[in-house]
Amino acid sequence: MKKILFVATGGTISTERDSSIQGYISKRTGEELISSLDLENRPVETVNFRKINSPYMTPLDMLELGGLLRENLRRKEITGAVVTHGTATLEETAFL
């Protein structure tokens, strides 16, 4: 059975409150994000690419993410990819 590639980059979906800074930081891994989903026995391969809020996603990060996706989507056992990403730079990452 083919696998879905789940790539976690951080963003709001991965944040938790951090009392030491009185704010939220990206903490959750990709495995933690998908642990409560019913994937109907669908194999998922998780890649924890980054744990950053999207304003900190640099063009270099975006290019590296694109390379990671190109490389993995060429693999015969991968049927597609899901990328979690914060909204602040989502458009820029998708464009690049």
**58 belongs to the catalytic site:** no
Q: Which one from 9, 12, 58, 93 is the annotated catalytic residue?
A: 12
User: By three-state DSSP, how is residue 61 classified?
Assistant: helix
Cβ contact 4:42 at 8 Å: yes
User: How remote is the C-alpha of 64 from its chain's centroid?
Assistant: 13
- Which among 48, 31, 27, 49 is positioned nearest to 39, based on CA atoms? 31
Query: CA torsion 20→16→9→3, rounded to 10°?
Result: 140
Residues known to be catalytic? 12
